[in-house]
Amino acid sequence: MNQQTERRKRILSGIQPTGTFTLGNYIGAVRNWAKLQDEFECLYMVADLHALTVRQVPAELRAHTREAAAMLLAAGIDPAQSILFVQSHVPAHTQLNWILCCNSQFGELSRMTQFKDKSAKHPDNVNGGLFTYPALMAADILIYNADLVPVGQDQTQHLELARNVAQRFNNAYSPTFTLPEGYITKAGAKIMSLADPTRKMSKSDTNVNSFVLMTDDKDAILRKFKRAVTDSDGIVRYDVAEKPGVSNLITIYSVFTGKTVAEIEQEFAGRGYGDFKTAVGEAVADALAPIQGEYSRILADKAYVDKVLTEGAAAACRIADRTVQKVYKKVGLLQL
């Protein structure tokens, strides 16, 4: 086999350090990241620069960044296998960002639904970073020539833009960037709010019962699942259109027990929602307990977390700096 066929596909993904991750972040993203490490060459990034598109309290952002890294480690990201780093520790991202901004069109950036949503949500802070956010995200991906990018449904438009920008650059100069593909996992790709199962679970929701945090204790988890909005027909059956609440709980239960939808429907046939909700809460609490233990242990060891991030940044810089050098040369920036 030659080098080309031997090379494992490269994965890059990122998560914003906007506070404790929810169960939705875990099921939809982080949990899968850990599983991909055996098969792929993985780079995982705490996207602190992206977080700045919304006003942050500096001390909190700093703390959340370390916490996010600790949670990723607790959830099974292995620094011996993967590169775990903080976005702002790799200056090349912002260097490539500028070049890609100059290769992105106002029109295409204007069409991003996340930009429209976030501008509507924060009308007092529709900043330039919010607008050019997809160019930075494209830089994150293209700078490593990532083949695959695990992202949620809400990021597919940004990924598409990254592909378009990559292609445009390759055509305008010469083949430079790998065109990245989305890597969307089917099971539990989107976990819905426990209070309004037609909306995505989000910790920015004002109703704290609508989301489970990765650090919630067993009592809180059981209570939140007990209060989860379902419907009035009392039958545990998977039907997203008619029974979004129950279907969301089935998805969550399936993720943590490994049981199929049919097995779950069978298990709770004729038993009503009370038993079912308790079982879901128990399954989640049992699954999170070891992660929470690891998280506390790792977070208490700042020196360890910082060492992992220092080494991660160095490894990421080695790849990213090379790409930037190439790109700078191609676009005609003077090299001395």
User: Which residues form the catalytic set?
Assistant: 118, 200, 203
Closest separation in Å from C-beta 141 to ligand TRP: 5
Q: Do the beta carbons of residue 114 and residue 133 sit within 8 Å?
A: yes
d(CA 69, CA 189): 22
Select 15 or 236, whichever has its Cβ closest to ligand TRP: 15
Q: Which of residues 130-169 bind ligand TRP (CB under 6 A)?
A: 137, 140-141, 149, 151, 155
Closest separation in Å from C-beta 258 to ligand TRP: 27
Nearest residue to ligand TRP, scored by beta-carbon proximity? 14
- When binding is defined by CB under 6 A, the residue of 12, 72, 142, 308 that contacts ligand TRP is 12
Q: Which of residues 270-329 bind ligand TRP (CB under 6 A)?
A: none
**Residue 302: how many other CB atoms lie within 10 Å:** 11
Query: Within 13 A of 267's CA, how many CA atoms are on the CB side?
Result: 17
d(CA 151, CA 158): 10
d(CA 306, CA 185): 30
Select 149 or 229, whichever has its Cβ closest to ligand TRP: 149
- When binding is defined by CB under 6 A, the residue of 13, 95, 178, 251 that contacts ligand TRP is 13
Closest separation in Å from C-beta 118 to ligand TRP: 10
Sorted by sequence, the CB contacts under 8 Å of residue 219 that are 6+ apart come out as none
- Is 69 near ligand TRP (CB under 6 A)? no
Closest separation in Å from C-beta 149 to ligand TRP: 5
Sheet holding 181-182, edge to edge: 83-86, 41-46, 10-15, 148-149, 181-182
**Residue 154: how many other CB atoms lie within 10 Å:** 13
- Is 50 near ligand TRP (CB under 6 A)? yes
Please name the helix (run of DSSP H) or strand (run of DSSP E) that holds residue 144, with its range, or none: none
Q: Do the beta carbons of residue 149 and residue 184 sit within 8 Å?
A: no
Closest CA to 201 of 155, 245, 234, 259: 245
Select 68 or 249, whichever has its Cβ closest to ligand TRP: 68
Number of residues forming the site for ligand TRP (CB under 6 A):
13
Closest separation in Å from C-beta 23 to ligand TRP: 16
Q: Do the beta carbons of residue 260 and residue 197 sit within 8 Å?
A: no
**Strand 41-46 and strand 181-182: pairing?**
unpaired
Closest separation in Å from C-beta 234 to ligand TRP: 36
d(CA 167, CA 263): 45
d(CA 88, CA 94): 8
Only one of the segments 12-20, 192-200, 275-283, 305-313 lies at the binding site for ligand TRP (rule: CB under 6 A); that segment is: 12-20
Closest separation in Å from C-beta 64 to ligand TRP: 14
Select 97 or 251, whichever has its Cβ closest to ligand TRP: 97
Sorted by sequence, the CB contacts under 8 Å of residue 193 that are 6+ apart come out as 199, 200, 201, 202, 205, 210, 211
Q: Do the beta carbons of residue 203 and residue 252 sit within 8 Å?
A: no
Q: Which of residues 14-33 bind ligand TRP (CB under 6 A)?
A: 14-16
Select 204 or 266, whichever has its Cβ closest to ligand TRP: 204
- When binding is defined by CB under 6 A, the residue of 43, 47, 228, 288 that contacts ligand TRP is 47
Select 155 or 251, whichever has its Cβ closest to ligand TRP: 155
Only one of the segments 11-19, 224-232, 300-308, 311-319 lies at the binding site for ligand TRP (rule: CB under 6 A); that segment is: 11-19
Select 15 or 221, whichever has its Cβ closest to ligand TRP: 15
Interacting residue ranges for ligand TRP, rule: CB under 6 A:
12-16, 47, 50, 137, 140-141, 149, 151, 155
